[in-house]
Structure 1
Amino acid sequence: MGLVKNYIKNTNKYKEKLSEDYRAIFDEVMVCFRTSALPDKDIEMALQDILSSFLEAQALGKTVNEVIGDNYKEFCENIILELKASPKIKKRILLNNISLLFLISLVLITIDYIIELVENFIKSKTILLNYSVSIDNILQIIMGVIVAIIVFNMVRNSDESNNNNKNKCKEFIRNFCFIFLVFFSIPLSNKLFKLDSMVLLNTKVYFIIPILYLGMKGFSYLANE
């Protein structure tokens, strides 16, 4: 990940040399790539190449439209699709998605444990170290993945020039309502079907949280190796 941090540092440093027009488009290009499913290493390498081409074209007096055309999103998507077609990058995307799954699991289970810890301490003045993984937890993780996908798509589509403000507002409301229904359905399903009583695994919290963290870091390392 040190290599990725160096790429980001160099990108932030050299993009300051872009003119206002080039800089505005490059900022949008960064959003497109960094909200894609590509691993961090491939994203930052692609951004470095694009930044170099922008700086060269700018030095030659070319406009940004002469370099990428009139639609920067189409320009980005073509590059992203080309990268995704590579078998090596497909493997890294899979590893990156597994890392994301571990991250979502880590966050949701940690939050759930803290809530249980506080409730248990208030009731019995004891510290809870046991944690039960139930069907309810699995549903929360699945919903977390769905919400993450929706949020990334909202960010990617937020600046499309062919969408007017009214359409953007409708899309935001639709996505917000969907996310609300998703999260509302979890406690409702739990209440109706007692999903938290369908225990899949009983373990100590000091086992499961480090395992999830190491899984997240390990798969992230493999994805960006």
Structure 2
Amino acid sequence: MRGEILSYDPMTGDGLISGDDLLRYAFTSTTADLEPGRRVDFVVQDDRAVSLMVLREGPLPPVVHAPEPDLGLWGYFVRCLTTKYIDGNGRARRKEYWSFALFQFLILMLSFMPILGLAIADAETGQGIEAWAVAWICIVALVYFGLVIPGVCVTIRRFHDVGLSGWLILIGLIPYVGGLFVFIVSLLPSQPCVNVHGAPPKGMGQISL
């Protein structure tokens, strides 16, 4: 097992290790160079760390996360429909979420316009073009349901970006209150630090839109 020294008291030899298995192990050792931050190899025995061996000569260097490039409104929308279509892992900055919401709205509105035109033409000419209207409604329905999955996924990633569980998206099913909750979360800024879902979209310590 390997891990990182969290604390160490050289007077008593007692310390604490954060293991790579995400568990913490107490230890007692007089091994040299056990100050916090050093990587060590150890054996787990009775829920304690024994037989410690230092793997590094110094503390871990700070983790540097390269900033994610700004893809622009259309770029984020395309990514949501391609590589991120069924991907709820990771994080999505506000700009990515609202880029998808914008183009989703525009596509659906443009899809409904021919239906309105067919209805007006049918009312004025009386030529019976209901079949065309029904066919177009089916096409619009396919477009709508095709956008549901990436919409859910980008919302889950938006929840991750502010440090919330993606399961909280289910609150959105509650009438009135749920929609308001999702809207508020969509407006929150990204967590500027790494969380359990990954690095911040704009890099460590940078605020993203």
Fold equivalence (TM over 0.5): no
Work out which of the two has the higher radius of gyration on C-alpha atoms and give 1 or 2: 2
TM, length-normalised to structure 2: 0.25
Q: Whose RCO is larger (CA < 8 A, sep 6+)?
A: 1
TM, length-normalised to structure 1: 0.24
- The structure where helix makes up a greater share of residues is 1
- The structure where strand makes up a greater share of residues is 2
